[in-house]
Structure 1
Amino acid sequence: MNMPDGTVVLERQLLLQLGDRLKRLRKAQGLGTVEMAKRAGISRTTLSSVESGDPGPAIGTYLRVMSVLGISGELALLAGDALQPGPPGTAAARSKRARPVVQVTVSTDDTRHQAQDLQSLALHEAAIRLARSDPELLLQAQHTLDRWLASGNSRSMGLWHEWQEILRGAKWRKVLARTRRAQELRQASPLTAVLPAQVRQGVLDQVAKLRTGVVLGDAEPQART
């Protein structure tokens, strides 16, 4: 059984956080989705994926959106040839000037149910990764769903029937979307019910750390060597 990597949830929240901020910045600049997608040279569907923090789009796609919004400068320099170490023996190479400190705080906001949403999303991503490599887990989820459906009337009956199609067709994107329907499907999910306890706890521990915030980057400036 594969345990979740200690940075999986952190990286997921970082993308979610980035997507939210790109969306807010687009709106602040008065750009609609049609115009924004046109300027970035991508489809509205792809733009929606970027603003949802979807890990599917390539980093180049994120960079295109950031470029239109005027915030891609540093990333563009790193991706190109502009930021290079100084040639050996030059003043730039010998410089002891402290390099700038760059920090990014990744966190969730309990007041807006971000932690709960992230936890649900991360649990499902972990379950789907396991289901792809272990058909037995998928079979367990189907058996669990069959028991629920046989139990009689429930307000979740419609969601469970939708889950039948999801499990049969492996339509995972429907579950991992950042839409109200996807949230409802995750709340009525048979997948997390069969998720191994160790994997579940690993995800919960990672989400708990993000409740207080995780800082990426240097704590203090460091001199160049």
Structure 2
Amino acid sequence: MLLQLGERLKRVRRQEGFSSTALAELVGISRTTLAAIESGDPSPSMGNYVRVMSALGVSADLALLASDALQITPGVEDRPRKRPAPAVSVLVKADGSHDAQDLQSLMLHKEAIKLMLSDPKLIDQALATLEEWRSSGSSHSRFLWDEWSVILHRRDWRRALSTSRRGRELRQASPLPTILPAPIRAAVLEQVSALKKGVLLGSKPRAPAAQGGPS
């Protein structure tokens, strides 16, 4: 299973246009660890597997794996069913407007970092925005803008994507969303809006297998 998962992650990474260096930098792991994950090595922690899946946008299946409703019986597909298989469904929902806002900010920053990894010129654009803000903006945010300048020059994306309190403060004073094209921003807002209402993940029950012809 790990071999299959690793191969899938490698395939998705290539489809998304990530080099192994870029993805490892985005996730905050070494290239060696990423190579181990893509080869299905059991030595990397589950947390690192999850981080890679999240960065590539293939982590929805984790909700099913964590659900008590998911039960798999080997060879069950080879046996006729007398009853339909039960539906497996998990409702994924953002709890409260504050959580949804944090999620929206995090998703916007992930998309911005993807763009900057593929086009480093966008980093200069974000730095230019910072300078404009410094010359005319509020002094209360200046220390956050100074930190953003360090992040952009060092390309230390882990600080930008941190879920800590400091990470949230940084994203509130971030220039990164300004580099996003309107369609990407709209797509993120639509996803977060759907999560506020609740997104149902899962499978529909299958029809019963044929029980044979008439007697």
TM-score of the alignment, normalized to the shorter chain, above 0.5: yes
Q: Indicate the residue corresponding to 1:33 in structure 2.
A: none
Tell me if the contact between 2:81 and 2:208 (Cα under 8 Å) persists in the aligned partners: yes
Is 2:105 the counterpart of 1:105? no
For 2:175, the equivalent position in structure 1 comes to 190
Secondary structure class of the residue paired with 2:90: strand
Alignment of 1:1-225 (within 5 A): 55-56=51-52, 83-87=74-78, 93-111=79-97, 113-151=98-136, 154-218=139-203, 221-225=205-209
Poorly superposed stretches of 4+, deviation over 6 Å? 71-75
* Number of corresponding residues: 158
Q: Contact 1:96 / 1:223 at 8 angstroms: preserved in 2?
A: no
Distance, in Å, in 2 between the alignment partners of 1:157 and 1:135 is: 24
Gaps of 5+ in 1: 1-41, 63-70, 88-92
Distance 1:118 1:211 in 2: 11
Cα deviation code 1:111-163 (max 9, x no counterpart): 5x111011100100111111111122211101101222233661111111110
Percent pairwise identity: 44
1:179: how far off? 0.5
Quote the residue 1:66 is aligned against.
Answer: none
User: Could you tell me the TM-score, scaled by structure 1's length?
Assistant: 0.60
Structure 1 residue 224: Cα displacement: 4.5
Q: For the residues of structure 1 that align with 2:185 and 2:77, how far apart are their CA atoms?
A: 47
SS of 1:178 mapped into structure 2: coil
Structure-2-length-normalised TM-score: 0.63
Q: Is the Cα–Cα contact under 8 Å of residues 175 and 186 in structure 1 kept in the other structure?
A: yes
Q: What amino acid sits opposite 2:134 in the alignment?
A: L
CA gap 1:191/1:98 in 2 versus in 1, 3 angstroms: same
Rounded to whole Å, the distance in 1 between the matches of 2:173 and 2:142 is 9
